[in-house]
Structure 1
Amino acid sequence: MKFQQFLITILAFVLSFTSCTDVLNMAPDGNMQMDEVLSDPDKVEALLNRCYNNIPQKGYSYWFFESLVVAASDDGYTSDEAQGVPTTGLYTDNNSASYHHLRDAHDGHGGNNTGYWTRSWEQIRLCSQFIELIDGAAVNKETDRGRFKAEARVLRAFFYMELVKWFGKVPVLESTIPFDSDFSTMTRASVYDVAKFVAADCDAALAEPNLPWRIDNPNDAMRVTKALALALKTKAMLFAASPLHNEGENHWEEAYTTAKDAVTRLKTNGYELFTKTTQPAVYGNGPGAAFRQLVTQNADYSATPRDKETIFQVRSGSVFVWHIGYIGSNMPNTYKSGTSPTQELVDAFETVDGKPVLDLAKPYKDEKHLQPNYNSVNTLYDPNNPYANRDPRLYETVLMNGSVMQFDSKPVKIETFVGGAHQVSFDVTNRSASRTGYYHNKMVTPGASGNNQINNSNWKYYRLGETMLDFAEAAAEAGHLEEARAAANEVRARSGMPNLPAGLSQQELVLRIRNERRVELAWEEQRYFDLRRWQKPDGDLSETCKWFTAMVITKNGDGSFTYKRQNISNNPRGGWQNRDLLLPLPLNEAATLESVTGQKWQNPGW
């Protein structure tokens, strides 16, 4: 009885309900027999729809409207750290295997943003079950059968990748498993083996002629496509090749060939970077205008879409970001500023001549980031005028002292200097002011405010620019330096940035591409995972995620400004230790699996 309890509570999400009892032959909703479902084409499609459940909505749909994963990376620091929300536990390092604030936080806004272990396994079981049943099910037309099966395969691959990102190695289960199976031999597969399984599912979907490359009907929003299959294959191999997961094996050449094939096929089938704004009245005509429009507007579903870059977007989850994640300080109808960009993120943006501000190999001379290690060949950057002549994406991502924004239909000049309207505050109870001296604006449509209430876009999981940077990284790591440069340069050109210089060494190019990822993909929940997969299994995040700095600005009598870096807190922020490279498996589940298999299942340090 105890073992059956284990099966039901721990692995029910990957088990087939195969039993002689009627209840176990029921459909997932528990209200009808499976035969009844499979004989009705509409119910078969509803069964497929269940496979789409539990896709996290991300963005600002985490509990209490926080951009939680960004706040847990070195790109952001929240002003909600003392409010008893998930970041409170993260920043004070109050996490354990029994309760982790990223894994187990309250999902009060219905965003499916927690319970990743349980939710993902539930969806994997539903997908596997559907794949096994669809060949004998009734469908409205025969072309549906192949498409539905392909969709279930892509969704299974999607949820496997969610598990890998958070937990690393997981079992590979190619089919549903009967209750009476021998679970004593179950093991956690290497990330490479998981990636190969993901690739096999995606390849099967790509071979299905009835799975489309793009969704062109709004009624089908969030349905998966061949484009998503390629993006998933690329991401899976990128993770498998990365130091945290490669187990000493070199998989970069395979990651490179996978990513190159993906980018080539995506472009052949109509995907391209969004390079010119279609709303200059909103976004202006500057070099960063298209970039900002891309990330703030929902992708459109059309045979000839405006946005040909977005690969996969959820269909809901947008919120009033101008109210809770923009500039809450002394602005009407705002509640809080939420997570603000760190000085470390601002430092990552190059000058317009394409030179990094800091030495990327060692950005800071000290542990606490108070002494920047400036790039000796950069002559354009001026520490006494630090926001001039920077990558245009900086101005589309960050509000800083002197920025001008439209709020309530009038221009507002940002004053983050001491005594200014939007000054930095280190009072942990002050949730309206920035902790960093900066405010976020990347996901906010210009002009959004109380009298122009525009939500952020629905979350975009994959876009061509991201997959091209996956390709650039894999190519650089595999030694294909010119191809790596070309892919990164294409992304940079969209925002008016010059090419990466020729003649960089392999290690120099890898560092430049890693920094390019940080700049291009800021606030898109990539940095949290990038920092972790770039570490070796015995590494930690002490160089990036232990100490954080703000810019404290003093306005002088002559109108000039003095800039001083200051640590946000006198204490290290939680989340930088070796154990923080991966989330813990739920405590009870890990213990039960270990007792059944005799193997170690829990992630290191938990």
Structure 2
Amino acid sequence: MKRLYGLLVLLCFMLTACNDDFLDVDPVDRYSDAVVWTDESLITSFVNNIYEGQKWGFHTVMLSSLCDESMEVWAWESQPVVMSELSPSYQGILAPNFWIITFHNITWTNLYKNIRACNIFFENAEKYALEGDVVDKLKGEVHYLRAYFYYWLLSQWGGIPLIEKSFTPSDDLLVARNTFEETVDFIVKDLDEAASILPLNGDKARATKGAAMALKARVLLYAASDLFVSQSLWASGYEHPELIGYVGGDRTERWQRAKKAAKAVMDLGIYHLYGENGGWKNREEATQNYADIFLCHNSDEDIMVQYYDYVNHNSSDFQLPRVGLFNSPNGFHGWGGNTPTGQLVDSYEMADGSKFSWDNPQQAAYPYQNRDPRFYASIMYNGSYWRQRPDDTVGSDPEGIVQTAYYQQSDGSYTPGLDTRQGPIEDWNGSYTGYYMRKFLDPSVNHQYDKQPYPWRQIRYAEVLLNYAEACIELGEDAEARKYINMIRTRAGMPDIPDSEMGDVLKEHYRNERKIELAYEQHRYFDIRRWMIAPEVIKNVQGIDIRYPYGVTEPNYSIIDVQERKWNDKSYLLPIYLDEMQKNDLLIQNPLY
């Protein structure tokens, strides 16, 4: 008993005699704020983590499958989007808690989470009076990143709350939406600040002056587009049109700003189209050049890239981008995830620049001959060579030829090709459309087991030229627009657009050129909305049914519908999530929801 009493006395003495130093110890499981914000390497690590919030390009379900470029082979995951069934409480694959995190980084919640990290950086940079070349460059990068996250919010929801501080639980968390115009101006201001700080050259996986300027050109182009001046055409009666577009001002001036911003990137003189001089001896050379844009680690066409590997990404093995596994044909043990729609395939011109048409008997008999070289670099079709099949299937096809056709037997039955949904290898992953994506995929990689190392192009120079050309068209500067569109076509091995194409005819041709050049690169989803052509192009997905009659070497082609799709004007913008509306009664919902 005396011993216990003594211990209690000793403990009381220790507790009463201790001073502040006794309790003032650094945590052993994390760095303190003072340590982080006074160490350049830790500050850099903090910013590196913000980069993780960028939208992933390569994933199981690509943004292309939410528009008219491709069809997700599993269908049910993207069905709510392509059927215009979204609501504040039901958003399918776009929901923040959807089990596949394909779109996780561009949800309302996570975009604001990343914006908060940017604001924390700026607050601590001021608090600790951070200075020096390294810190200054990081400031420019974080201005770019904050603008990037707000760009995704703007593109999906219109005007949104602009937050420039990191909220704490004691702050008033009820914040109203800013107008569309205020949101655009805020993004542009951040990008201008970034461009004034960042170096001209550097690691293209980090923001540079050119990246900030190119993103600014994209934002201004989007903002000048039809959707954001035509609220009365699709959201009649909506009481807050200022949240979803401009309600005044000079639209011509906005197109001029977009043109000027794109031209400023061009005038830097450091970016060039990959193989820009063309002069290809044959279609194969032009095809390979376009394919190589995406099968290299770095080129003068790259403005902003995103690397995917265990060093540059912290996701689990399943979530590391396996673009080849996700998209190569099922007969090669691929998942065939984002298969080109028949509409996309038919958009590729003939090699002479004329339109492809199933109504043309010659073209309909040989639909995959004499097409735009980019067609062969982007699309796998029946009869195209891909790569040697895996060891367990090579005996069925020693040549590595894609087989999406059906072959009639002597008894009248049909044997399905190896890459059809009824094929003998992996029928559950087969294409419905009869096509597979080839763009981005390296044929030298065994995609069943191995990952390819090439980066995702966040921004490339071809987009800048197209953005410039579009602004020129809208300003009536057709000759200038043709000049830069033709630069891209020359690189692709395609003939120039005729000088006779002007006005709406040129605009239509430009839009198709943009569709082809930037296919699968996360532009089309927004293009069909900002141009307000979604009601025209969101139609039932078409595929091709190919049958070889018994004893005949030439097949019969039939166009078939393979997926129902519907458009509702509410889908021009996304609904704000119901839980966000319930948490913040100052938020105003987007129209038609």
TM-score by length of 1: 0.77
In the other structure, the counterpart of 2:55 is 56
Deviation at 1:456, TM superposition (A): 6.3
- Asked whether the equivalents of residues 55 and 112 of structure 1 are also in contact (C-alpha less than 8 Å), the reply is no
Evaluate the alpha carbon distance shift between residue 51 and residue 399 of structure 1 in structure 2; reply closer, same or farther with a 3 A threshold.
closer
Letter in 1 for 2:506: L
1:549 maps to 2:549? no
Query: SS of the counterpart of 1:406?
Result: coil
Tell me the distance in 1 between the aligned counterparts of 2:217 and 2:106: 25
Tell me the distance in 2 between the aligned counterparts of 1:323 and 1:239: 33
Evaluate the alpha carbon distance shift between residue 548 and residue 502 of structure 1 in structure 2; reply closer, same or farther with a 3 A threshold.
same
Evaluate the alpha carbon distance shift between residue 276 and residue 289 of structure 1 in structure 2; reply closer, same or farther with a 3 A threshold.
farther
- Asked whether the equivalents of residues 532 and 581 of structure 1 are also in contact (C-alpha less than 8 Å), the reply is yes
In the other structure, the counterpart of 2:417 is 421
Tell me the distance in 2 between the aligned counterparts of 1:102 and 1:108: 8
Residue 75 (structure 1) aligned to one of 69, 94, 106: 69
In the other structure, the counterpart of 2:114 is 123
- Asked whether the equivalents of residues 325 and 448 of structure 2 are also in contact (C-alpha less than 8 Å), the reply is no
1:412 maps to 2:407? no
Which string of whole-angstrom CA distances, capped at 9 and with x for unpartnered residues, describes residues 347-367 of structure 1? 111111112336xxxxxxxxx
Tell me the distance in 2 between the aligned counterparts of 1:138 and 1:390: 59
Evaluate the alpha carbon distance shift between residue 458 and residue 252 of structure 1 in structure 2; reply closer, same or farther with a 3 A threshold.
farther
In the other structure, the counterpart of 1:102 is 93
- Asked whether the equivalents of residues 253 and 475 of structure 1 are also in contact (C-alpha less than 8 Å), the reply is no
Tell me the distance in 2 between the aligned counterparts of 1:30 and 1:193: 42
Which string of whole-angstrom CA distances, capped at 9 and with x for unpartnered residues, describes residues 50-77 of structure 1? 43242222312xxxx233x111111111
Deviation at 1:604, TM superposition (A): 2.2
Query: SS of the counterpart of 2:560?
Result: strand
**Identical-residue share of aligned pairs (%):** 26
- Asked whether the equivalents of residues 540 and 565 of structure 2 are also in contact (C-alpha less than 8 Å), the reply is yes
Which string of whole-angstrom CA distances, capped at 9 and with x for unpartnered residues, describes residues 384-436 of structure 1? 22222111101111111221222249632223222352465499x94332111
Alignment of 1:169-184 (within 5 A): 169-176=159-166
Evaluate the alpha carbon distance shift between residue 73 and residue 430 of structure 1 in structure 2; reply closer, same or farther with a 3 A threshold.
farther
In the other structure, the counterpart of 2:23 is none
| RMSD, matched Cα | 3.4
In the other structure, the counterpart of 1:525 is 522
In the other structure, the counterpart of 1:316 is 308
In the other structure, the counterpart of 1:193 is 182
Residue 227 (structure 1) aligned to one of 194, 200, 210: 210
Which string of whole-angstrom CA distances, capped at 9 and with x for unpartnered residues, describes residues 133-178 of structure 1? 3245365x72223212111111111111111122222123345567
Tell me the distance in 2 between the aligned counterparts of 1:566 and 1:451: 30
Query: SS of the counterpart of 2:364?
Result: coil
1:296 maps to 2:292? no
1:581 maps to 2:577? no
- Asked whether the equivalents of residues 303 and 459 of structure 2 are also in contact (C-alpha less than 8 Å), the reply is yes
Larger Rg: 2
Evaluate the alpha carbon distance shift between residue 340 and residue 456 of structure 1 in structure 2; reply closer, same or farther with a 3 A threshold.
farther
In the other structure, the counterpart of 1:602 is 589
Structure 1, gaps ≥5 residues long: 1-26, 300-306, 359-371
Which string of whole-angstrom CA distances, capped at 9 and with x for unpartnered residues, describes residues 314-350 of structure 1? 2226633333311113x3xx14211211110011111
Query: SS of the counterpart of 2:228?
Result: coil
- Asked whether the equivalents of residues 337 and 433 of structure 1 are also in contact (C-alpha less than 8 Å), the reply is yes
Evaluate the alpha carbon distance shift between residue 345 and residue 381 of structure 1 in structure 2; reply closer, same or farther with a 3 A threshold.
farther
Letter in 1 for 2:344: L
Alignment of 1:199-598 (within 5 A): 199-208=188-197, 211-216=198-203, 222-246=205-229, 247=246, 251-266=251-266, 268-275=268-275, 286-299=285-298, 307-316=299-308, 319-329=321-331, 331=332, 334-357=333-356, 382-408=363-389, 411-419=399-407, 420-422=416-418, 424-425=420-421, 430-449=427-446, 453-455=450-452, 457-535=454-532, 541-556=534-549, 557-569=551-563, 572-573=564-565, 576-593=567-584, 595=585, 597=586
Letter in 2 for 1:43: L
Deviation at 1:464, TM superposition (A): 0.5
Tell me the distance in 2 between the aligned counterparts of 1:487 and 1:552: 38
Tell me the distance in 1 between the aligned counterparts of 2:175 and 2:101: 36
Tell me the distance in 2 between the aligned counterparts of 1:454 and 1:407: 17
Evaluate the alpha carbon distance shift between residue 230 and residue 158 of structure 1 in structure 2; reply closer, same or farther with a 3 A threshold.
same
Structure 2, gaps ≥5 residues long: 1-25, 230-245, 310-319, 391-397, 408-415
Letter in 2 for 1:66: V
Deviation at 1:123, TM superposition (A): 1.6
Deviation at 1:292, TM superposition (A): 0.6
- Asked whether the equivalents of residues 104 and 115 of structure 1 are also in contact (C-alpha less than 8 Å), the reply is no
Evaluate the alpha carbon distance shift between residue 520 and residue 131 of structure 1 in structure 2; reply closer, same or farther with a 3 A threshold.
same
- Asked whether the equivalents of residues 445 and 456 of structure 1 are also in contact (C-alpha less than 8 Å), the reply is no
Evaluate the alpha carbon distance shift between residue 288 and residue 343 of structure 1 in structure 2; reply closer, same or farther with a 3 A threshold.
same
Query: SS of the counterpart of 1:431?
Result: helix
Which string of whole-angstrom CA distances, capped at 9 and with x for unpartnered residues, describes residues 164-202 of structure 1? 122222123345567777777733321x33222211111
